[in-house]
Amino acid sequence: EDLVCFRDIRPGAPHHYLVVPVEHMGNCKTLKTEHISIVKRMMEVGKAVLQRNNFSDLNDIRMGFHWPPFCSISHLHLHVLAPASQLGFLSRLIYRVNSYWFIT
């Protein structure tokens, strides 16, 4: 009811989804302690969508947020990518774990 999930229009992996809160939230820099539960639910939805799409190796996924100013939109959205082991060269840079521009 409070989250939506859809495919990324420029997928970085065979499975690339965005999990987005229906209610507007700025970006990952605006998150506070009270947002922990919604972020956890966003991750649960991402995993459930992967499983519904026949992807079961949850050890080979990458989830995270682009750190401002590297966000394409100013509405919180969680990237869910799988399999992480099949990310191409550019995607490995764009979705690099805990980099200057992407946080997991």
Predicted confidence (pLDDT) per residue in 38-47, tens digit = 999 999 999 9
Catalytic site residue from 15, 16, 77, 79: 77
* Residue range 87-99: mean pLDDT, rounded: 94
pLDDT at 71: 81
Q: How confident is the model at residue 84 (pLDDT cuts 50, 70, 90)?
A: very high
- Domain at 19, CATH number: 3.30.428.10
Total domains present in the chain? 1
Could you tell me the residue range of the domain that residue 26 belongs to?
Answer: 3-103
Note the pLDDT of residue 70: 80
Annotation says 77 is catalytic: yes
pTM of the full structure:
0.94
The secondary structure of 33-91, three-state, reads HHHHHHHHHHHHHHHHHHHHCCCCCCCCCEEEEECCCCCCCCCCCEEEEECHHHCCHHH
